[in-house]
Amino acid sequence: MTLLPIRGVRHLRRFQQIAQILVRHGFGELVDLLGAVPPISSRLLRRRVITGTPQRLRMALEELGPTFVKLGQVLSTRPDLLPPPYIAELAKLQDTVPPAPWEPVRAQLEAELGAPMEEVFATFDPEPLAAASLAQVHAATLPDGPEVVVKVQRPNVEAVISVDLDILADGARLLQERTPLGEIYDLPGIVEEFTATLRAELDFYREGHNADRFRENFADEPYLYIPRVYWEYTTRRVLVLERIRGIKIDDIAALDAAGYDRHRIGLHAARMIIKEVLEDGFFHADPHPGNFVIMPGEVIGAMDFGMVGYLSHRLRADLIRLYVATVQLDEEAIVDQFIRMGIVGGAVDRVGLQRDIGRLLRKYQGLPLKAIRAREIVEEAMPLAFRHRLRVPSDLWLLGKTLGMMEGVGLKLAPDFDIFTVSRPYVRKFMREMASPRAWGPSVLRGMGDWVQLMEMLPRTGMQLLARAERGELEVALRHQGLDRALVYLDRLANRLSLSLLLAALIVGLALLVPAFHLAERGGFVTALVIFGFALAALLGLWLVISILRSGRR
């Protein structure tokens, strides 16, 4: 058995642990495919379960630890990689774990801040407010009085994640080589993208800058409040934020008791996500209810800026065109837009894709926009994406999940919540910007520069080519792909045709010899020779028929 390349002794031990968990949850064949270390192959693979299920996969990832929990959460936003049952199950992954012991956390804090706890904070609660796989959050007070929350990375989590990422990279490379998945997906590229995302999430400097960027984007919007980052206490492993208090956004009873207008809060939430997507191209990608509170004045307070999504201006313009084609129920235009966006591969069944999109659109034909739910559209598009292997950018799936979560919050606040109605003025504004010279002018100017450069080079380059052609120095080389195979096939056809003609001539000639020499009435050598010729022709003809039938089956 080929063994999985392991980078060091600690990697070998961790791989054995990963393999044992996978086998226990029914994924022994995967371990066997990758190549297991001998203790696993001899002891556990004999009692492996044949097939894993979505539920077993979720439980295995939870048991494997923070790296694999994060991997499952990322995969739950990629229905182009996994079938819908697995997507639905991985969406249930919970990133909540028991808190780490206080003493190692305290040592981590003091090492990062470079001072004893008592010198940095006036008060600090050792009991965390929340604990996740990568970090936990504590309440504290600064010496000059402000209340803060301190997010501290779990001790040694980076070392564990680094080993797991090495093993994932090795596993992706082997799956790329040994399974048909490698012909469809760039598995090492997917793991590389996940590695970059996870390492960025471990950098709390980045999360603090995300918060500052959101605050800057919403500086003119009074309905959203972003807490302040205390940079003087923030490091790569410790983040100190202003503590904000309010009512959880989905606590309907408490909101009603406080006299808040739930419909207005829902509109604010919708405006927030639409502005993030269409105006800023930078959105909060984890909008579950625990990350938003309602503060006095019906202001939404946002928290946890570790997971964000990015949309370039070009991608936003593509989304608007896709939105227009969808509203017009034009499946052909949708497929054309998919092609322009690079979502559809060259081997896709365009007719089948167009038919499936048309079937999906007809379900909503005649319905007002307020009766259409973004979550339902995303969920129904997932099987289509998997069936046709659509290569949808991960940020777009993340956006679909974000819209669905925000829509769910809005519907809980107000049953008549309609995210499409809220988005309409933003869509119109973006379309006007797309049509304005300010939007397309720079690209036209860049193109004109290229044309000017081409016109400058064309006379000189053309004269050089003509001079080389006159001297006989200009050579044109043609390269063909797959022509050798076609030539071999044609050669076989010609040989088969020649043999058929020779057989036909032999049979006809022998048949003419029989009446010419009255061989039926005579015996001897000539008669035996003619009979032998007929037998030989029959055998060659039978061989030719069998050869043709076998080649037809291939």
List active site positions.
Answer: 286
Q: Which residues contact 41 (CB under 8 A, 6 or more apart)?
A: 1, 32
Backbone angles phi, psi at 293, to 5 degrees: -125, 155
Q: How far apart are CA 214 and CA 202, in angstroms?
A: 19
Tokens of 343: 């979502």
Q: How far is CA 426 from the centre of its chain?
A: 27
Q: How far apart are CA 511 and CA 519, in angstroms?
A: 10
* Count of helices and strands (H, E) across the chain: 23, 11
- On the CB side of 367, CA atoms within 13 Å amount to 13
Q: How far apart are CA 39 and CA 433, in angstroms?
A: 63
Element (H, E) at 402: helix 394-413
Q: How far is CA 6 from the centre of its chain?
A: 27
Strand 308-310 to strand 238-242: parallel, antiparallel, or no bridges (unpaired)? unpaired
Backbone angles phi, psi at 100, to 5 degrees: -75, 155
Question: How many residues are there in the chain?
Answer: 554
Using alpha carbons, list the distances in angstroms from residue 464 to 77, 251, 452, 476: 55, 77, 19, 15
Q: Which residues contact 507 (CB under 8 A, 6 or more apart)?
A: 534, 537, 541
Strand runs (DSSP E) across 121-249, as ranges?
A: 123-124, 130-131, 135-141, 147-153, 224-225, 238-242, 247-248
Residue written as tokens 């504004």?
A: 429
Q: Which residues contact 456 (CB under 8 A, 6 or more apart)?
A: none
Q: Which residues contact 14 (CB under 8 A, 6 or more apart)?
A: 163, 164, 167
Q: How far apart are CA 138 and CA 130, in angstroms?
A: 7
Query: What is the 3-state secondary structure of 530-544?
Result: HHHHHHHHHHHHHHH
